[in-house]
Structure 1
């Protein structure tokens, strides 16, 4: 219910802004814009230029004639203005790489950039592609190292619980040994109990051999 109330409130505010410019079809336009994510709607309420872009796209989908209006707006839009608006929308995704991604997306044609400003799904796809590109280029190496540490910790906890069921006495040592495996193998043994048991047996054997060697010395 709370979500519906918030949407109604956003709709009322959006409608009042649109009605002053497009009275007859304000309801239709408001309904179309309310299909966008809440974060984008709130951005529209705070930034008139973002709202105008959204309205232009909605008008374009309603009537071919509105393309003339849309093209006029595109022609008057400056690169700096587009960059600032795009930056704000990308920043909402909290990637930590807003500057780099904005720069990459601004290398596209102005028509594509304008479309990104009013199409959140397309923007999200482009952001994910940009992140993947940065990763491949090694730009996110530092951040990925941090996230990898947290991921290993999470995997380690899951693995420890499973190993403890098989060998509670040596669960800590065996878990540590298994965590030296590559990520793909780790994921497999977490999903496949039989593979886990085999891996544990190998670790037990290695652990026993190691213990025997030290006891002989």
Structure 2
């Protein structure tokens, strides 16, 4: 520990002792704040009671402002959260009356609006009905799009499986590879995957298809 640190530690102890009588709970924080000042200033504070009182009062005021500002946002957030929860519950009860089967999702969509707009919905049944119907229509359109995408994905998968299968079937029966592959593609995806992975299973399936074609 160098001399500067020793000086600060000594000054800190003296400051703490001087501050403790008036500010027991915040003595540590106030001491820390005053120790940020240059050493000559701290020394002067300790030597003059009036300067000490003024410096401590100033530090205490700054500390209070910092504490207030750190508490207020939390309080606002809590209030906003509680208010939002309450609005959500009220809105859900009203939306649920329409028995859409999507009450939770529709409520969530409506709650994305500004608070004033949500309050307006609670007091205006006609507007609420319009918004619920619009949200329901949006959800139904999304469901159709997802189904289309899924169908498209299944078709793509089937096409890829068909290409792989054709290349394998072609080795076993080049002349009728197209017909046999078409017959095998009637099987579900899991069975097709099995054919691709197991040569003996594929050979048996091809033989069955060949027999069916011969007949």
- Specify the TM-score bucket, using the shorter chain as the normaliser: 0.3 to 0.5
TM-score, normalized by length of structure 2? 0.36
Question: Higher relative contact order at CA 8 Å, sep ≥6: structure 1 or structure 2?
Answer: 1
Higher alpha-carbon Rg: 2
